């Protein structure tokens, strides 16, 4: 039976993602090739690892036991491989990073500089709204706002603090009163934001130590910042954004900032990762570049 590490990694990816298609995308292979890989492994073992229907994939009892056993073993193998790679003078291999969309934009320049400096390295940067367990889902690093970093992780600040921005278009403001406090926000014209977990985002405000959480009300609910920005630009109402997502619009006068004295700086992004005894050369080199960038930004003030 020829399974190989790739076959075992494939089993873990499908178990993680709950889908052959999603696992194939993660592994960089076709769904057909992945299905054949699992089929050969199941034939060699003589048991089915997955129960498949046209709509769902789930682990069989044998598959569940198999995953529980190979998971720790593969983690040890990855650690041994990282230890071996750490002895290389030239970093090589794959670095997987999970980030929010905004954090992905923040780290992208570092990733590009890293690839230029180390041509034998590859980076898989996955951006998504949900906060994932980076260890369980096979990522080396995560990037999120400092207040969302799990406590058991090592955190490295990436740069300046972030701010929220409350904005509306000149067209909307020409036809409506300007809100001067969070209590003045209109009942029908706030663009509501749905979080990845399905909950509606409550708009946080703070001034002079007073904190207010507003359950924004409005006729339009969205779960994508780019669509919300387009809606506000079109005059649909007031939006609540990460400042960097609308900074150019504010500077150009396409959007007008509101309640600025109620949106103080908040914690910036942090890169985080679990402790490692033998980090790979590529992992260590990437952290070194992030620290270099943070030091430069600190000097600039």
Please report, for the chain, the start and end positions of each structural domain, with discontinuous segments joined by +.
Answer: 4-85, 93-160+268-300, 164-262
pLDDT at 91 over 90: no
Secondary element (H or E) of residue 111? helix 101-117
CATH number of 4-85: 3.40.309.10, 1.20.1250.20, 1.10.540.10, 1.10.10.10?
1.10.10.10
List the CATH code of the domain at 164-262: 3.40.190.290
Q: What is the pLDDT of residue 2?
A: 47
Closest CA to 238 of 163, 297, 161, 171: 171
> pTM for the full model?
0.60
pLDDT at 54 over 90: no
Secondary element (H or E) of residue 298? helix 281-300
Taking domain 93-160+268-300, whether its CATH number is 3.40.190.10 is answered by: yes
Fold match, 4-85 / 164-262: no
Q: What is the mean pLDDT of residues 274-295?
A: 84
The 10s digit of each residue's pLDDT in 170-221 is: 999 999 999 999 999 998 899 998 887 788 889 999 998 899 999 988 999 9
CA 24, 30, 35, 37: dihedral to nearest 10 degrees?
A: -90
């Amino acid at each position: 039976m020829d399974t190989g590490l790739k076959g075992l990694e494939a089993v873990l990816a499908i178990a993680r993602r709950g889908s052959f298609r999603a696992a194939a995308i993660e592994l960089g292979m076709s769904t057909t090739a992945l299905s054949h890989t699992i089929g050969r492994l199941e034939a060699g073992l003589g048991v089915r690892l997955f129960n498949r229907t046209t709509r769902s994939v789930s682990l069989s009892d044998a598959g569940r036991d198999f995953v529980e056993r190979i998971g720790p073993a593969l983690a040890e193998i990855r650690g041994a491989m990282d230890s071996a790679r750490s002895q290389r003078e030239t970093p090589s291999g794959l670095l997987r990073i999970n980030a929010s969309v905004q954090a992905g934009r923040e780290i992208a320049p570092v990733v590009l500089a890293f690839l230029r400096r180390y041509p034998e390295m590859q980076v898989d940067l996955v951006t998504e709204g949900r906060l994932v367990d980076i260890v369980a889902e096979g990522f080396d690093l995560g990037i999120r706002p400092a207040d969302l970093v799990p406590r058991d992780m090592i955190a490295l600040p990436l740069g300046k603090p972030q701010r929220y921005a409350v904005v509306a278009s000149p067209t909307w403001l020409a036809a409506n009163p300007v809100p001067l406090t969070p209590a003045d926000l209109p009942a029908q014209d706030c663009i509501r934001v749905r979080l990845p977990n399905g909950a509606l985002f409550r708009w946080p405000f703070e001034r002079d130590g007073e904190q207010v959480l507003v359950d924004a009300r409005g006729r339009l609910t969205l779960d994508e910042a780019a669509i919300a920005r387009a809606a506000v630009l079109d005059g649909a109402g007031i939006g609540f954004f990460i400042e960097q997502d609308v900074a150019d619009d504010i500077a150009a006068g396409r959007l007008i900032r509101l309640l600025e004295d109620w949106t103080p700086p908040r914690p910036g992004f942090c890169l985080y990762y679990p402790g490692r005894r033998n980090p790979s050369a590529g992992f260590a080199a990437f952290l070194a570049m992030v620290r270099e960038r943070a030091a430069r930004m600190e000097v600039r003030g």
